[in-house]
């Protein structure tokens, strides 16, 4: 069993209960001689700096808080677990009243690690060459219309083959972890969270026989914006990036 010496806590400062809960957590650690630190989940750079030497990151918040913390953990490989302060908490393993029992399990080694597949993505301009933006997501990558209620036309390829040209509100490419989120709302299946597949689902597609496709992790999903008044790429539900007609978004399993 690994001796737990340092625990990090990422919290959502906009949640009323998050600050007192983080104080409870660090107090629990102090009594047991465990070093602890707390940082707001939105402080990506701060989390990346604090994570080295940390043996577990406990996230105090909802799914959005968890996903923001996960973006830092992808850069610095540290196990993380969620304590739900949100409304749904699909990604959390415990509720607020279970905080101390959860920390006791971590301290005593009564846990197992679950490896989760993440997604790597890139945005390319109309021509060939290096991408102008790269990113990593735990849940999903969404290519969608902008604020105006006008559909977009998306040409979607899986590997060397054309899947379809969708006239839709957008497209969701989800990991197994993200299959319970936006992908599920768009009609996609729920996957075993420990599997290694991608789910490709159009959002409110017009006259399309294809609702959702499960894709091998060895394949590259390619989405070209063929027609749009405005379009955005959303990464794990935040960080909307404008894209233009002719731009290409690629998504694959993070190896």
Question: What is the side-by-side order of every strand in the sheet holding 140-145?
Answer: 213-215, 198-203, 170-174, 140-145, 231-235, 238-243
User: Is the CB of residue 82 less than 8 Å from the CB of residue 66?
Assistant: yes
Question: Hey, what's the torsion of the CAs at 72, 13, 67, 169, to 10 degrees?
Answer: -130
For residue 111, give Cα distances in angstroms to 79, 81, 100, 103, 122. 11, 11, 14, 10, 35
Name every residue whose Cβ is closer than 8 Å to that of residue 106 and which is 6 or more positions away in sequence.
4, 7, 56, 58, 81
239 Cβ contact list (under 8 Å, min separation 6): 135
In contact, 135 and 173? CB cutoff 8 Å: no
Q: What is the signed CA dihedral for 64, 66, 67, 73, rounded to 10 degrees?
A: 160
Provide the token pair at 60: 């105090």
User: Is 236 tagged catalytic?
Assistant: no
User: What is the number of alpha carbons within 13 Å of residue 173 lying toward its C-beta?
Assistant: 30
- 63 sits in which H/E element: helix 63-73
Q: Do residues 104 and 117 lie in contact, with contact meaning Cβ atoms separated by under 8 Å?
A: no
CB-based contact 242:230 (threshold 8 Å)? yes
Annotated catalytic residue within 17, 43, 45, 63: 63
Active site residues: 63
């Amino acid at each position: 069993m690994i001796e737990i010496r340092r625990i990090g806590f990422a919290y959502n400062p906009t949640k009323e209960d998050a600050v007192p809960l983080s104080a409870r957590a660090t107090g629990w650690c102090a009594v047991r001689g465990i070093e602890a630190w707390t940082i707001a989940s939105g402080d990506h750079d701060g989390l990346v700096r604090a994570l080295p030497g940390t043996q577990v990151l406990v996230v105090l918040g909802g799914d959005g808080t968890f996903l923001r913390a996960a973006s830092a953990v992808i850069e610095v490989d540290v196990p993380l677990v969620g304590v739900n302060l949100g409304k749904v908490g699909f990604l959390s393993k415990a509720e607020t009243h279970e905080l101390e029992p959860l920390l006791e399990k971590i301290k005593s080694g009564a846990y197992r690690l679950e490896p989760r597949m993440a997604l790597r993505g890139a945005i390319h301009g109309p021509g060939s060459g290096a991408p102008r933006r790269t990113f990593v997501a735990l849940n999903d990558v969404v290519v969608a219309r902008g604020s105006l209620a006008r559909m977009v036309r998306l040409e979607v390829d899986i590997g060397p083959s054309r899947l379809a040209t969708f006239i839709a509100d957008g497209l969701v490419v989800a990991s197994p972890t993200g299959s319970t989120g936006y992908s599920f709302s768009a009609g996609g299946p729920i996957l075993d969270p420990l599997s290694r597949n991608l789910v490709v689902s159009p959002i409110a597609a017009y006259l399309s026989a294809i609702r959702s496709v499960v894709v091998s992790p060895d394949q590259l999903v390619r989405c070209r914006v063929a027609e749009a008044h405005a379009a955005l790429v959303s990464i794990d539900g935040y960080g909307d990036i404008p894209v233009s007609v002719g731009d290409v978004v690629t998504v694959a399993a993070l190896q």
